[in-house]
């Protein structure tokens, strides 16, 4: 164990600080984190660094293969692909992280409370989840759009509101077995309040599956956004996202492959980075797994 020695013994250290030290030993996870940070920074500063405007068309040029002027080529309307991929990243990353973040927050807390309190509270809380599961997702979204008009925030909320259900179930299942553990009983006999026990003893021990599920949720959320946008329920052209670029790219794949390849490649790299980071985090947060 090297991590122990890197702290001043007089200072308390949280699981997260400790995990950070362990994460730094995992090269692949650091690489993944680097790539993601790079993408996020690019997404943030996109409006100031793009070579073209995302709606600027050059119909004369049409779909041109990559060149010095347009590094990733242009689409059928002659719009610069690099610009569109960069702008698309803003939407995709935002949807991916915010919607997943919403799902994570609601799902973990809801599941942990239901599992820990148990009994009738648990039954009532989980029945609510079942009911929400049963609602047809598309109708739910269309209803939201009709009622409140189309906007990006609503899209995040709608996706988040659906994704937290599975998260809540996973966490609850974990908590049910954790609650039987003696260390939770020990925490009760120390006199800790239920919320402190959930926060300090229960949730940290559910992190493994939660992180794995999160890394699966982010891509599925990104694709969900593309699907909704494709149906006209998400973001509208000329705005774009990776998912949307890919689905347009598929249509013209045989004539203009670069319209599919570049956005596809970007999304794949982002997802790879995410998975490396997710695996690294899972190991780093489990003191047992990272003993080498």
Partner 1 sequence: MSILEVNNLTIRFYTRNGVTTAVDDISFSVEEGETLAIVGESGSGKSVSCYSLLGLIPQPPGRIDGGTALFNGKDLLQCTDSEMRAIRGNEIAFIFQDPMTSLNPFLTIGEQLLEPLIYHRQYTRQAARLRVYEVLEEVGIKDPIKRFDCYPHEFSGGMRQRVMIAMALIVEPKLLIADEPTTALDVTIQAQILDLIKNLQKKYAISVIFISHDLGVVAGIADRVLVMYQGKIVEQGLADDIFHDTQHDYTKRLLASIPDGPKLRPAPEVEKPFLQVDHLKTYFQDSSVSIIKRLLSPSSANNDNQFIKAVDDVSINVNRGEIVGLVGESGSGKSTLGRSILQLVPVTEGKVEFDGVDLIGLNPSLMKKQRRRMQMIFQDPYASLNPRMTVFDTLAEPLLYHGLATKKDVSEKLYTLMDEVGLARSHIRKYPHEFSGGQRQRIAIGRAIATKPELIIADEPVSALDVTIQAQILELILELVDAHDLTMLFISHDLSVVRYISDRVIVMHHGKIVEAGKTEPLYAAPQHDYTRSLLAAIPVADPRREQLSS
Q: Residue from 120, 146, 153, 288 that binds partner 1 (CB under 8 A)?
A: 288
The residue (of 3 and 241) whose beta carbon lies closer to partner 1 is 3
Q: CA nearest 87: which of 56, 44, 135?
A: 44
Q: Following DSSP, what letter does each residue of 25-54 receive, concatenated?
A: T-HHHHHHHHHHHHHHHHHHHHHHH-SS-T
Measured CA distances, 243 to 9, 79, 168, 265, 266 (Å)? 49, 17, 26, 11, 10
Cα separation of the two ends of the chain: 7
Q: How far is the CB of 175 from partner 1 (least distance, A)?
A: 14
The answer to whether 66 and 46 have CB atoms below 8 angstroms apart is: no
If one asks whether residue 286 binds partner 1 (CB under 8 A), the answer comes out as yes
User: Nearest-CA neighbor of 198 among 114, 122, 116, 104?
Assistant: 116
Tokens of 21: 């030290």
147: tokens are 């009622």
Judged by CB under 8 A, the number of residues near partner 1 is 34
Restricting to residues 13-32, name those near partner 1 by CB under 8 A: 13, 15, 18
From the CB of 187, what's the least distance to partner 1, in Å?
8
* Residue 35 touches partner 1, criterion: CB under 8 A: no
Among residues 181 and 220, whose Cβ is nearest to partner 1?
181
Q: Which residue's CB is nearer to partner 1, number 177 or number 220?
A: 177
12 touches partner 1 by CB under 8 A: yes
Q: Closer CB to partner 1, residue 8 or residue 254?
A: 8
* Nearer Cβ to partner 1 (67/193): 193
Give least dist CB 281 to partner 1, A: 13
**4 near partner 1 (CB under 8 A):** yes
Is residue 152 involved in binding partner 1 (CB under 8 A)? Answer: no
Strand partners, 74: 80
Q: Count, in order, helices (H) and strands (E) of the chain.
A: 12, 0
x-marked contacts with partner 1 along 176-215 as a string, rule CB under 8 A: -----xxx-xxxxxxxxx--x---xx--xx----------
Q: At closest approach, how far in Å is the CB of 197 from partner 1? A: 10
CA angle 188, 191, 197 (to 5 degrees): 50
Nearer to partner 1, 4 or 143 (CB): 4
Residues 177 and 252: beta-carbon distance below 8 Å? no
**Residue whose entry in the numeric block shows the structure tokens 């090297």:** 2
Residues that bind partner 1 in the complex, under the rule CB under 8 A:
1, 3-5, 7, 9-10, 12-13, 15, 18, 181-183, 185-193, 196, 200-201, 204-205, 285-288, 291-292
């Amino acid at each position: 164990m090297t991590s122990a020695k890197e702290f001043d013994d007089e200072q308390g250290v949280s699981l997260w600080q400790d995990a950070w030290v362990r994460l730094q030993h995992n090269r692949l996870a650091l690489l993944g984190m680097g790539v993601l940070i790079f993408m996020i920074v690019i997404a943030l500063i996109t409006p100031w660094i793009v070579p073209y405007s995302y709606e600027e068309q050059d119909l004369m040029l049409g779909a041109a293969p990559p060149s010095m002027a347009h590094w990733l080529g242009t689409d059928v309307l002659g719009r610069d692909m690099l610009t569109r991929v960069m702008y698309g990243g803003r939407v995709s990353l935002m949807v991916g992280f915010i919607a997943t973040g919403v799902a994570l927050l609601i799902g973990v807390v809801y599941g942990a409370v239901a599992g820990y309190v148990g009994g009738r509270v648990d039954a009532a809380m989980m029945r609510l989840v079942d009911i929400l599961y049963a609602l047809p997702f598309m109708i739910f979204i269309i209803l939201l759009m009709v009622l409140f008009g189309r906007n990006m925030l609503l899209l995040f909320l709608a996706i988040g509101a659906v994704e937290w259900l599975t998260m809540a179930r996973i966490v609850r299942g974990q908590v049910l077995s954790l609650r039987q553990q003696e260390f939770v009983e020990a925490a009760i006999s120390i006199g800790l309040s239920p919320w402190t026990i959930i926060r300090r003893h229960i949730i940290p021990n559910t992190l493994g599956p939660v992180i794995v599920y999160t890394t699966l949720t982010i891509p599925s959320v990104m694709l969900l956004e593309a699907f909704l946008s494709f149906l006209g329920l998400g973001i509208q052209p000329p705005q774009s996202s990776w998912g949307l670029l890919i689905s347009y790219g598929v249509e013209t794949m045989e004539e203009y492959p670069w319209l599919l390849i570049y956005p596809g490649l970007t999304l794949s790299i982002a997802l790879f980075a995410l998975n490396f980071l997710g695996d690294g985090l899972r190991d780093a947060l489990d003191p047992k797994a990272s003993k080498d």
